[in-house]
Structure 1
Amino acid sequence: KKENSELRNNNAKLSSEVEDLKERMRSLEQYTRRNNLEISGIPVTANEDVVAIVRDVGSALGIAVEDGEVSAAHRIPSYRRERTPSIVVQFRNRSTRDSVIAKFREEKNLCASK
């Protein structure tokens, strides 16, 4: 009985520790995404250069987005075939991302044809 009780206590302790680690991992994952921006509604083209598309979006917003400001940019597949895959951009710093978001909020009616 004593061994059974010890095992239960140990199991409860380990379960609690696992939950704490899961929460820490979620927080860290969210923190790593702080410089990311998702751009949706841009049609896919053959042999596209996603970083060039990001520069074009910045240009349409009146912001010069330099290659050095983009850490990574790629399309993320959509589970629905009829939906255009979004572009995820990771900027080197959050201020660039924030300025793109602020300009987009000012523009509101920006579309892929511009």
Structure 2
Amino acid sequence: MPPKKGPTPEEVEDIKTSLGALCGDVAAVRAQQELLLGLLEEVKQLRLQNAQKDRRIMDLERRVDELEQYTRTNDVVISGIKIKPRSYARAVAGNVGEPSDEENRSVEQQVASFLQSKGIEMDLEHVEACHPLPRRSDRPPAVIMRFVNRKNKVALLKQGRKLKGTDVFINEHLTRKNADIARKARQLKKNGKIQHTWVTNCKIFIKLNGTPEEAKVLIVRNMEDLDKYN
């Protein structure tokens, strides 16, 4: 058998050229891989930073809501009492600014008169401020009443049961967030998902269904805390 002939010089050069081109392609692929890995790491870090910022924003929103709720600690919202509107003279004059002290005192007196007619004791000396909220429906506007201290507010809330059978209600002055939580908790109770719900010192409580061991009382601070009971 005749010996095999080796590649010609031209073929060797072609092979070298091909290998050089292949090495260049491999190097380019590696460079692309490193670039992609770098971009993936950058995306990972950005997602981590965004998650941290989201948690920070949520924490700040929670603190703002807690501070706002704290400023309402001595307040109650009384809804359903028909308050006489501001004076005709003030309306004709087009004065749409803050109500005068005289008008505010009139609101206090109207509220106190109605509550006292239902056997509810209240001393206006303990009232720091009282004014109606903007009307949002055909119902009488709700009234915000702020007491000098919390014990006066609690004393009035405890007498709220005397309003049973009327369309008048006395509630704590909750922030929008807490009011939404309380509303959803009441809906869960109505649907039989929880046993009971109530508000004390501007905190929303729920009592779970089940045996005495299972029927725990929980404080609800976020809407997500109620999602598990839907």
> Rg: which structure is higher?
2
Matched, 1:66 2:105: no
- Secondary structure, aligned partner of 2:146: strand
- Say which structure, 1 or 2, has more relative contact order (CA 8 Å, 6+ apart): 1
The 1:58–1:42 alpha-carbon spacing in structure 2 relative to 1, beyond 3 Å, is closer
Matched, 1:28 2:76: no
Between the two proteins, what is the percent identity of the paired residues?
A: 30
Q: Which runs of 5+ in 1 are unaligned?
A: none
Q: How many residues are aligned here?
A: 110
- Secondary structure, aligned partner of 1:78: coil
Q: Which runs of 5+ in 2 are unaligned?
A: 1-38, 88-102, 169-230
The 1:111–1:10 alpha-carbon spacing in structure 2 relative to 1, beyond 3 Å, is closer
Which residue of 2 is the match for residue 85 of structure 1?
Answer: 141
- Counterpart residue identity of residue 55, structure 2: S
- Secondary structure, aligned partner of 1:88: strand
Quote the offset at 1:31 in angstroms: 2.6
Quote the offset at 1:89 in angstroms: 0.6
2:135·2:141 contact (CA, 8 Å) conserved in 1?
yes
The 1:57–1:94 alpha-carbon spacing in structure 2 relative to 1, beyond 3 Å, is farther
The 1:26–1:111 alpha-carbon spacing in structure 2 relative to 1, beyond 3 Å, is closer
Distance 1:106 1:71 in 2: 23
Q: What's the TM-score once normalised by structure 2's chain length?
A: 0.41
Which residue of 1 is the match for residue 11 of structure 2?
Answer: none
Q: What's the TM-score once normalised by structure 1's chain length?
A: 0.73
1:41·1:84 contact (CA, 8 Å) conserved in 2?
yes
Deviations along 1:44-83, one digit per CA (max 9) or x if unpaired, are 314352122233245333524133x222211112322x21
The 1:8–1:104 alpha-carbon spacing in structure 2 relative to 1, beyond 3 Å, is closer
Distance 1:52 1:89 in 2: 12
Quote the offset at 1:10 in angstroms: 2.2
2:81·2:111 contact (CA, 8 Å) conserved in 1?
no
Which residue of 2 is the match for residue 53 of structure 1?
Answer: 110
